[in-house]
Chains A and B, each alone.
Chain A
Amino acid sequence: MAGVLTRRRKSIDRDEIPPDVIVHDDFRPSTAGWAARFGVLGSVAVLVLWLGPVVLLGGEEWFALSLAAIYAIVGLSLNVLIGYVGTISLGHQAFVGIGAFASAYVVTEMEQPFLVGVALAALIGAFQAMLLGGLALRVTGLYFALITLSYGLFAQDTLFGIQSVTGGGAGREAPLPTGPDNFAPYYFICLAFLAGVLFVDWRMMQTKAGRALLALRENPRVAATFGINVRAYTVLGFGVAGLFAGIGGALLAHLNGFVDSTEFSFQLALVFVLMTVVGGLRNRTGIIIGSAFFALLDLLIRKVPGLEHRLADLDVTIPVVLAVAGLVLAVLGGLGRHWIRAGIGVAIGLVGILILSPMTVPVIENQINEFPILVPETFALVVGPVLLLVTLVMYPGGIGQQIRPIQHWLSGHKFDIHVGGEADVQITDVRA
């Protein structure tokens, strides 16, 4: 319709556009290239479905692995709030807890099947989140964070203490649907739910709801001029987050076989936020890795010989944290080709490992501390903040930013180590 116009405009613009900002990507992988990419994806699938749980862990760690899948669901739920809607939730243990109690109640009191319990938990989770979302339209930033914090504490102390629904201090049973202590099939049930959550998240971000959320997170005024109903989509975002959290809570309840209010402390909310931010906002794979890491910390501690007992000793915890933080920094620095950071990481890690080595700390086999200072959850809260600092200061995109080059390659592009370099996530992303 406007041939002349098109030609003329182009001749004007060509001088203005700096050539380096124009993205040209005509690359198509060869057949071998595609084979390599599918090979990598297939290996990951084999690792998650069989090699890891059955061969490496000897089929004994289904409980921990199920927990990892559940944490991933919770991480994706929190990502919807922090990453897409752009509000922080410090009360996510309440989101998860409501799902857990709802499903336990539906299954034990109403004697409904497990799937009905999960479905109702998801709906109730979505509903309570939407109520909170309505509030987020009026209160934003730090004050909203404060509200979520108090909501979480209120839920833990008051809501979860309602005798008739939650069983009060005695808690409520939530039987494992696959039979007592039969965790192996439950792991695959959790994976199936994780796949469902991933699918919904993926479709959301590929369609108008996801774009609306990203636009209103950055600038609600601009979003409104695009014809986006800012209120409706904010509430929708909360609803989706609540839905995911409800599913995660229900799965968690039935994994533990039991729910009581003490499980849903603020510490848990903190771990959720840490794993999501460290995992990398708006990067599903990163969040799954981050969440699984925090869920499997306990397993890691048990699997490293002697570590479990030593962890009770603060003298040992500090070098462990140094070693882990150093290692992470070294790997991240190396991937991002920040050699100075990598060097600092190696140095910190070496200091940790040196202090930790059997030469300096003799292993006392029978030492069992009567008063353990650090239990695994607390350990997560020691490693977590260190990782959070590294993330916020150096790599705002977290693990997600580090794996961007690999994802980029897998999706059929040329391998480019610098893809994650322009940070997709800014520290200022959360308006708090």
Chain B
Amino acid sequence: MTTLLETDSLSIRFGGVQAATDVSVKVGEWEIVGIIGPNGAGKTTTFNMITGFYKPNTGRVRYRGQDVTDLPVHKRTALGMGRTFQNVGLVKGATVRENLVTAQHLRAEYGAVSAMLGSPDAFETERALRLEADEILDVLGLGELAETRVAGLPYGQLKRVEVATVLATDPDLLLLDEPTSGMGPEEAHAFGDTLIELRRDFGLTILMIEHHVPLVVSVCDYVYCLNFGQILAEGLPNDVRNHPEVVRAYLGEDPDEIAQMEAG
């Protein structure tokens, strides 16, 4: 299996806070990899270093073997990295369809200036982009929402629209930051099915931060657990879940409590 994404001991420090230390993750093509860990463990920080919002103090990010550590965010998008945000990354004033068409930015292959001057290419491309956006929405069952303003949608729907929007950027690697937050357990489970179907239908590789452990166990091929900015454990989902260090990180040091949890 070829490695799609590889990070090589990423470390970053904000003032006096060491937010991440030697984070090395590896994501193979077509894999679904999960990152778990308690709040403040450095999961989103790691995402931000992978996607280019933060520049790591040390360490490299490699995508398809290419060193992308110094590339700006939009160039990484062009290479095929797409990400969602913890607090919904959408243009709230626009409609759902407009969001998708905005996300197709790199596929609008006409010149921005010539389009302003009325180039006929732009008209045709725009029509094609709109049709394609509607197709993606239909696949995710969001077709009815195309004309709806994002600002009026309930949270669970927003998360789904966000995934549709990222798909519109035509990614190979999908980085999802807590995609099921705001969803109930059943919805989250259904979302897991969606992920597996997306991988199949769009040929995606997925790296996701997720708190919902049953979902991680059911869909992920490999899991990393972060704590205090370091990788605490990695391996198959069930192994990581039962790893004593991981249990301690989540539940604290009290052995009785842990024993109780293990019994229950």
What is the 8 Å Cβ interface bit string for chain B, positions 88-116, against chain A (1 contact, 0 not)?
01111111001001110110101011011
Chain B residue with Cβ nearest A1? B201
A240 to B113, CA, bound (A): 10
Which one, B18-26, B136-144, B247-255, is touching chain A?
Answer: B136-144
A114 to nearest B CB, angstroms?
21
**B116/A209 in contact, CB under 8 A:** yes
Residues of A within 8 A of B147 (CB): 23-25
- Residue in B51, B105, B118 whose beta carbon sits within 8 Å of that of A212 in the complex: B105
Does chain B have a CB within 8 A of A30?
no
- Residue in A23, A206, A219, A227 whose beta carbon sits within 8 Å of that of B74 in the complex: A227
Residues of A within 8 A of B145 (CB): 17, 21-22
Does chain A have a CB within 8 A of B77?
yes
**Of residues B74, B83, B85, B166, which shows the largest number of chain A Cβ atoms within 10 Å of its Cβ?**
B74
A12 to B183, CA, bound (A): 13
**B105/A225 in contact, CB under 8 A:** no
Q: List residues 24-49 of chain A with CB under 8 A from any CB of chain B.
A: 24-25
Does chain B have a CB within 8 A of A268?
no
A233 to B90, CA, bound (A): 18
Which one, B32-40, B150-158, B221-229, is touching chain A?
Answer: B150-158
Does chain A have a CB within 8 A of B72?
yes
A218 to nearest B CB, angstroms?
5
* B side interface size, CB within 8 A: 59
**A2/B89 in contact, CB under 8 A:** no
Residues of A within 8 A of B257 (CB): none
**A225/B194 in contact, CB under 8 A:** no
B171 to nearest A CB, angstroms?
10
- Residue in B95, B115, B149 whose beta carbon sits within 8 Å of that of A203 in the complex: B115
Does chain A have a CB within 8 A of B197?
yes
**B126/A206 in contact, CB under 8 A:** yes
Residues of A within 8 A of B102 (CB): 211-212, 214-215, 226, 228
- Residue in A18, A200, A219, A424 whose beta carbon sits within 8 Å of that of B89 in the complex: A219
Q: A2-B201, A204-B116 are in contact. Are A221 and B89 (CB under 8 A)?
A: yes
Number of A-B contacts (CB under 8 A): 147
* A side interface size, CB within 8 A: 45
Residues of A within 8 A of B118 (CB): 199, 203
**A225/B153 in contact, CB under 8 A:** no
- Residue in A23, A207, A225 whose beta carbon sits within 8 Å of that of B110 in the complex: A207
**A221/B53 in contact, CB under 8 A:** yes
Does chain A have a CB within 8 A of B169?
yes
Q: List residues 56-100 of chain B with CB under 8 A from any CB of chain A.
A: 72-74, 77-78, 82-83, 85, 89-95, 98
**A226/B103 in contact, CB under 8 A:** yes
Does chain A have a CB within 8 A of B190?
yes
Q: List residues 194-243 of chain A with CB under 8 A from any CB of chain B.
A: 199-200, 203-204, 206-209, 211-212, 214-215, 218-219, 221-222, 224-230, 233, 236, 240
A2 to B136, CA, bound (A): 10
**B116/A203 in contact, CB under 8 A:** yes
Does chain A have a CB within 8 A of B117?
yes
Residues of B within 8 A of A228 (CB): 74, 102, 105
Does chain A have a CB within 8 A of B242?
no
B31 to nearest A CB, angstroms?
20
Does chain B have a CB within 8 A of A359?
no
A203 to B126, CA, bound (A): 11
Does chain B have a CB within 8 A of A366?
no
Residues of A within 8 A of B160 (CB): 13
**B126/A226 in contact, CB under 8 A:** no
Q: List residues 5-21 of chain A with CB under 8 A from any CB of chain B.
A: 5-6, 8-10, 12-13, 16-18, 21
Residues of A within 8 A of B157 (CB): 13, 16-17
Chain A residue with Cβ nearest B139? A2
Q: A22-B148, A225-B89 are in contact. Are A6 and B139 (CB under 8 A)?
A: yes
- The 6 nearest A-B residue pairs measured at CB: A9-B141, A224-B73, A227-B77, A23-B147, A207-B115, A209-B112
Q: Give A residues with C-beta under 8 Å from B.
A: 1-2, 5-6, 8-10, 12-13, 16-18, 21-25, 199-200, 203-204, 206-209, 211-212, 214-215, 218-219, 221-222, 224-230, 233, 236, 240, 422, 424
Q: List 5 A-B contacts (CB under 8 A).
A: A209-B113, A212-B105, A221-B85, A225-B77, A225-B82
